[in-house]
Amino acid sequence: MKLSIVTTLYHSAPYIREFQERVAACARSITSDCEFVYVNDGSPDQSLRTAVALIAEDPRVRVVDLSRNFGHHQALMAGIAHARGEYVFLIDVDLEEPPECLPVFWRELHQRKVDVVYGYQTERRGPWFQRITGMLYWRLFNFLSDQPVMADILTVRLMSRRFVDALLQHREQLFSIEGLWANTGFDQIPIEVNKIRHKGESTYTLRKKLAYAFQAITAFSTKPLICVAALGALLTASSALYVLFLVGRYLISGTSVGGWTSLIVSLWFFGGLIIFNLGVISTYLAVIFIETKRRPVTIVKHIHEAVAPEIGIRPRESVPAPVPPIRSGSVANLFS
C-alpha cells in the first residue's frame, strides 16, 4: 500500500461525500495504490452510515467504528494505527483544511527528503475571544512544555512510515497529539495552509478547551511542579526575613506588631495558596493514577471494509477488541 488517507468523523455527515471526491481526485494525481480510512468517533449523526455507503462506490474505503466517543486526538491515533500505507496523509474531514494540499505536501516531502510535512496557519480566524485564547494557550504551552510546538499547527500532515511507526510507540493514556508529533522527532517541515472557515459551530466548548489545555500541559511539562516548589521556597524565605525584621525592630525600638486584620488576611492568603499548590500536585497524581491503569485509549466496535472481489463488496464486522494503547489521539486547532 503506497498511501493511506486518514480522517475522523464527528458530526461530519454533511462533508463526507465532498471530502471523498476531492481527496480521491488529489490521490489519483499521485498513485492509485491507496486507501481511505475513516474513524467514526461515536458520531451521533449519520456520519457512520454515509461513510459505510462509500465502500460500495470505492472498495479502498475502510471505516473504523469506535465503541463510543473517545475524543478527536484519540480517534486520530486510532486512524493512524489502522493505516497500512507507506505514507500516511492525515486531515480533518470538515474541509477547513483543503484536501488539495496533498500533492503539494507529497512534492515537498520527496524534494526535501524529510519524514513529515505539516500545515500551519499564520493568521487566526474566528471570533476575537477564540483568537485571543488560542494565542494565550500556545504561548503558555510552549513556555511550560519541555518540547515546544509550533503555534497554530493544523491536523493536516503527510508522514512517512518510519515516522508513523515511531509515533505509535508512545503509550500515554492522556496526551496532546501536537506534543507527541513534536516529541517523535525526525525531519519535519511546516507549510502554510489557508484554513477555510467551512463549517458552523465548533464542537469544542470552552469547558472542553480548558480541560484539554490543562491535560496537554500536565502531559508534557513538569514545570508547574517546579514552580510550586520555587514559590514555596520564596515564601518561606520572605517570611523568615520578615520575622527577623520584626524581631530586630522589637529589640531595637520596642515596637510590637498588632492587628487582627493583617493576621486574618495573611491566613486567607496563605491558606488559598496552599490549597492551590495542593491542587496542582493532585492533578499530577490524577494523571499518574490514570496512566497506571493502562486502559485502552480507544476500543474498536466494527471495521467496515470491502472483502474479496469474488464475494462482492459488503461491510465486515470485526471482533470487538481494544486498540493497543495509544496506537489506537487543528491538528484541527482546538482554539481556531
* pLDDT confidence of residue 133: 66
How confident is the model at residue 329, as a pLDDT? 36
Residues whose CB falls within 8 Å of the CB of residue 71, separated by 6 or more in sequence, listed in order: 41, 329
Please name the residue ranges forming H helices in the chain: 16-28, 47-57, 72-82, 101-112, 128-144, 161-167, 177-184, 206-220, 223-253, 260-293
For residue 91, what pLDDT is reported? Answer: 95
Residues 6 or more apart in contact with residue 128 via CB below 8 angstroms: none
Size of the chain, expressed as the number of residues it contains: 336
Q: What is the DSSP string of 87-148?
A: EEEE--TTSSS-TTHHHHHHHHHHHHT-SEEEEE-SS--S-HHHHHHHHHHHHHHHHH-SS-
pLDDT band at 136 (very low <50, low <70, confident <90, very high): confident
What's the CA gap between 209 and 330, in Å, rounded? 12
**pLDDT(111) > 70:** yes
Q: 193 versus 245: which is more confidently predicted?
A: 193
Question: Would you say 55 and 315 are in contact if contact means Cβ atoms under 8 Å apart?
Answer: yes
Residue 1 has pLDDT above 70, yes or no: yes
Mean pLDDT of 45-60: 94
Q: Indicate the pTM of the whole model.
A: 0.70
- Give the model confidence (pLDDT) of 252-296 as tens digits: 776 666 666 566 657 767 776 777 777 777 777 776 766 676 777
Give per-residue pLDDT as tens, 235-248: 777 776 776 776 77
pLDDT at 88: 97
Neighbours of 224 (CB within 10 A): 17
